[in-house]
Amino acid sequence: MSTWTTPGDGHKLVLGMVHLAPLPGTPFHETGTFPRTLDTAVASARALYEGGADGCLIQTVDRVYSVADESDPARTVAMGLIARAVAEATGEGFRVGVQLMRNANKASLAVARVAGGDFIRAGALVGQTLTAHGMVRADPLEVMAYRRSIGAEGIGIVAEVDSMHFTWFGGGKTTAEVARAARGVGADAVSLCHPDERTALEMIASVRDAAPGLPVILAGHTHHDNAARLLAAADGAFVGTCLERGGWGGAIDVDRVRAYVDIVRGVER
């Protein structure tokens, strides 16, 4: 059973996004850029750590992806090196997450288990979702069997259930029902988001009713202006653009991290 849980006592998790340039083994990787990608990731994680964030999610941004649960060996090794460097550059208690997009859950688990990570975010743990790269189909039995086979039961799985990366395909299931299904196959938490604040709050409330006690992490669309309202309802948030200088993909600004964390800590009091 995973030991990845929310801290309790009303504490809200602030998990910053560490976006990576295309990695080796992918079509848009530029030869010779990996050392810079690694250094940038470590600097971003350090800014999050020094700004008081609870952790980070290291996410590939390779532009084009396989829809299968697979990852090129060079890409997986590159992610492992980055995850290990981030873990070593931050302190105890700082949670390091791994997400090899779109849905390379087994490779993500392997990286987290070997490199010192704490959790993965699964793009599709249950059901299927139609993406620009094709249909992504979940295989929870395969993921959970692999998790056990490598002794990664302590690596948490945060399942996307309604977000920019996952929308249940085929109709007939609400966000709450998808969340309940994800918990049923072994998810330790779920992530969801919506650009409309009221809709996001309604989604959170519906999951609370359908799956009591299941941690809900916001998957995006939070910023300094709405964090207090959204984090009053959710258990945490993956936070990206509003912490980056110059918008999405920019360097993480430690002062922006501190300001966001201060807002969230105010919700806890």
Cβ contact 40:56 at 8 Å: no
Residues 6+ apart with CB under 8 A from 232: 267
Contact present, 222 and 237 (Cβ < 8 Å)? yes
Quick check: 116 and 90 in contact, CB under 8 A? no
The Cα–Cα gap between 90 and 116 comes to 11
Asked if CATH classification 2.60.40.1180 holds for the domain at 13-268, the reply, yes or no, is: no
Q: For residues 145 and 148, give the distance between their C-alpha atoms in angstroms, rounded to a whole number.
A: 5
Q: What is the pTM assigned to this prediction?
A: 0.96
Give pLDDT tens digits along the chain (269 positions). Answer: 455 566 567 899 999 999 999 999 999 999 999 999 999 999 999 999 999 999 999 999 999 999 999 999 999 999 999 999 999 999 989 999 999 999 999 999 999 999 999 999 999 999 999 999 999 999 999 999 999 999 999 999 999 999 999 999 998 899 999 999 999 999 999 999 999 999 999 999 999 999 999 999 999 999 999 999 999 999 999 999 999 987 767 789 999 999 999 999 999 87
